[in-house]
Amino acid sequence: MNFQIAMLLGQDGVTNGAIYALLALSILLVFTVTRILLIPLGEFVTFGALTMAALQAGEPTRLVWLLLALTLVDCALDLLAAFRSARGVRLPKWVPFKLGYALLLLVLVQNLPLAELPMAMQAILTLALVVPLGPQMYRLFFQPIAAAHSLVLLIVSIAVHVAMVGVGLLLFGPEGARTRPFSEAGLALGPVVLNSQTLWVIAVSLGLIVALFLFFERSLYGKALRATAVNRMGARLMGISPTLAGKATFALASLIGALSGILIAPITTLYFDSGFIISLKGFVGAIIGGLVSYPVAALGALAVGLVEAFSMFWASNYKEVIVFTLIIPFLLWRSLTSRHVEEEE
Amino acid sequence: MNTNDQPNTLLEVKDLCVAYGQVEALSNASLRVGEGQIVTVIGPNGAGKTTLLSAIIGMLGSRGQVRFDGTLETVPEVEVLVGRGLGLVPEKRELFGSMSVEDNLRLGGFMRYRRGDAYLDGTLAEIYSLFPRLFERRKQLAATLSGGERQMLAVGRALMAKPKLLMLDEPSLGLAPLITREIFRIIADLRRQGVSILLVEQNARAALRVADYAYVLETGQIAMQGPAHELADDPRVIEAYLGLASKHQEMLAT
């Protein structure tokens, strides 16, 4: 291996690692706030990438029908809950807004000249389509069982993942897709040419990580989410609803997932079922952080990306094996150093 | 002590029942807290005092009626009641241990922040003047505080919401006598500022001294009730709750 190859692999590793880091952060965020291991996170990645590809091909993506269907179910449940509760007037104020949003997107997707839109608009439209699926997923599948044992939450999470993969096949078909790169230019640093997409991935990931940091450290809403993670009972006594916190974290997770999908779509060909393995690597990062520490999780995920890139060079057949074997020493180390805490609920 | 006979009712609980499986932890408990009053519920360990408070605020499922500030809650919901001005300082404090003292306090005002209440910083300053200790420690993590400071933080955090009624669950539990006295001084202070208080205590003597009206809860049922100073003179109460043991505690405390 010479310097050039090492740089190339390093570049690959950092690019993937940045994406894994984002996914690790969302897995951690969702887990600490809601105790749910978000297995379907990868589906947000593939849905984001494939929707972007569909838009670029000028197809009115079928995802919008999924959004509409979920919105209808969501609104129906809200109305039912409002009907059952004594305070009939309190809840449904969001119903017209939600329905209007889904219908607006339906009209936009059916009528806009999708392929001719500037890429930024396509990306925004993709996010507008995919991100609401996060809170809706929480509302439909997790809110009714929010108090359940975390094992039950995990099983439901797996079921949702499997269902989403099926839905993905239905919506996007079995073909893989790749999107156009954001820009063609590269940046030459001495003998190394940095791929422009790499720079985009790193810049957007860093920007997002800084934004998340500021949100959780500076704003009271971010602190309220952290408070829910630290002490659910205490947060409820402050009027911080776990339902709202759950929906908000799922929205953040679907935003990060879909954005990651848009970012890597020009680099890798993604299929309807590629999401799982990607989010699993983010999960390895989260495990390295002990499902507690955000910075360690992000660094761990970055390391996963680098290990993956270099093992591709030395032992490409064993790439996944090497990456997932990484988890074992960390699990051992964790189980030896951390004391076992009984689950509170 | 001046007992206002019939101030406006702030909280009215009627026939509240809570069952854990087959075991009835609370049966047909009824009580009333008037505006500006301190009402205390005393009783031995395991009588259902914490259960009572949890059921009122909606942490536990219950049967019965809870009417707070004029609205009947058929199914009390924590977030709704907190938003309407009911605060609870639970027995376990439930602080945000890995967050700073000031963040804990600010989160106490979360509901007001959501409504766009601009006076939050003012309230924060008031809390700091009530508990100068918290101001000194405002940058520290809540988990590093001592027992008494934690209790102050829990009370301060609840006060950030400017509750109409504050429910305190065993505020003196596990605290040194000096700090217990400090806590009861603050409870009396709060009443002077117009906060109504529902106080649940094992330290019956201190509770009866500060309260206007008192209930005695025994094995899930209201066994006795009356103006606090009358209950304090009741021979049954004296024998059961103000006996020698607590006399001894009392001497330590003063």
pLDDT at residue A4 in the model: 81
* Sheet strands side by side (includes B196-201): B86-89, B165-169, B196-201, B38-42, B213-218, B221-227
Contacts (Cβ under 8 Å, ≥6 apart) of A242: A34, A146, A228, A232, A235, A236
User: Global pTM?
Assistant: 0.86
- Tokens standing for B96? 């945000």
Q: How far is B83 from chain A (nearest CA, A)?
A: 6
Distance from C-alpha of A209 to C-alpha of A298, rounded to nearest angstrom: 9
Chain A residues with CB under 8 Å of B117 CB are none
Token pair 């057949």 is found at A317
Distance from C-alpha of A121 to C-alpha of A59, rounded to nearest angstrom: 15
Give the tens place of pLDDT for each residue, B98-122. 999 999 999 999 999 998 888 889 9
- Tokens standing for A322? 């090497």
Query: What mean pLDDT comes out for the span A63-83?
Result: 88
Q: Say if CB A36 and CB A157 are below 8 A apart.
A: yes
The C-alpha torsion from B16 through B20 and B23 to B25, rounded to 10°, is -40
pLDDT at residue A91 in the model: 56
For chain A, the C-alpha Rg in angstroms (whole number) is 21
**Record: contact B96-A236, CB cut-off 8 A:** no
Q: How far is A146 from chain B (nearest CA, A)?
A: 14
Q: Please, which pLDDT band fits residue B2 given cuts at 50, 70 and 90?
A: very low
Instruction: Give the DSSP letter of residue A272.
Output: T
**Record: contact B78-A237, CB cut-off 8 A:** yes
The yes-or-no verdict on residue B64 having pLDDT over 90 is no
Three-class DSSP labels, chain B:
CCCCCCCCEEEEEEEEEEEECCEEEEEEEEEEEECCCEEEEECCCCCCHHHHHHHHHCCCCCEEEEEECCEEECCCCHHHHHHCCEEEECCCCCCCCCCEHHHHHHHHCHHHHHCCCCCHHHHHHHHHHHCHHHHHCCCCEHHHCCHHHHHHHHHHHHHCCCCCEEEEECCCCCCCHHHHHHHHHHHHHHHHCCCEEEEEECCHHHHHHHCCEEEEEECCEEEEEEEHHHHHHCHHHHHHHCCHHHHHHHHHHC
pLDDT at residue B244 in the model: 53
Contacts (Cβ under 8 Å, ≥6 apart) of A151: none
Give the tens place of pLDDT for each residue, A195-234. 788 888 989 999 999 999 999 989 999 999 999 988 989 9
Q: Which residues on adjacent β-strands are paired with residue B34?
A: B9
pLDDT at residue A12 in the model: 87
Distance from C-alpha of B98 to C-alpha of B148, rounded to nearest angstrom: 18
Chain A residues with CB under 8 Å of B107 CB are 220, 223-224, 227, 235, 238, 240
The yes-or-no verdict on residue A132 having pLDDT over 80 is yes
The yes-or-no verdict on residue B78 having pLDDT over 80 is yes
Q: Which residues on adjacent β-strands are paired with residue A192?
A: A189
Q: Say if CB A46 and CB A273 are below 8 A apart.
A: yes
Distance from C-alpha of A290 to C-alpha of B53, rounded to nearest angstrom: 36
CB-based contact (8 Å) between B116 and chain A?
no
Q: Please, which pLDDT band fits residue A20 given cuts at 50, 70 and 90?
A: very high
- Tokens standing for A268? 């890798």
**Record: contact B90-A235, CB cut-off 8 A:** no
The yes-or-no verdict on residue A60 having pLDDT over 80 is yes
- Tokens standing for A5? 């190859």
Helix, coil or strand: residue A194: strand
Of B59, B90, B107, the CB nearest to A227: B107
Give the tens place of pLDDT for each residue, B149-205. 999 999 999 999 999 999 999 988 888 888 888 888 888 888 888 889 999 988 888
Q: Which of A56-65, B216-225, B239-248 has the lowest mean pLDDT?
A: B239-248
- Give kind and range of the element (H or E) at residue A189: strand A187-189
- Tokens standing for B252? 């330590």
Q: How far is B2 from chain A (nearest CA, A)?
A: 32
Distance from C-alpha of A186 to C-alpha of A199, rounded to nearest angstrom: 9
Q: How far is B22 from chain A (nearest CA, A)?
A: 20
Q: Give the β-pairing of B165-169 and B196-201.
A: parallel
Instruction: Give the residue with greater pLDDT, B153 vs A341.
Output: B153
**Record: contact B94-A224, CB cut-off 8 A:** no
In chain A, which residue's Cα lies nearest the Cα of B83? A239
- Give kind and range of the element (H or E) at residue A22: helix A3-34
Share of chain A above pLDDT 70, in %: 93
In chain A, which residue's Cα lies nearest the Cα of B82? A239
Q: For all residues of chain B together, what is the average pLDDT? A: 86
The yes-or-no verdict on residue A250 having pLDDT over 60 is yes
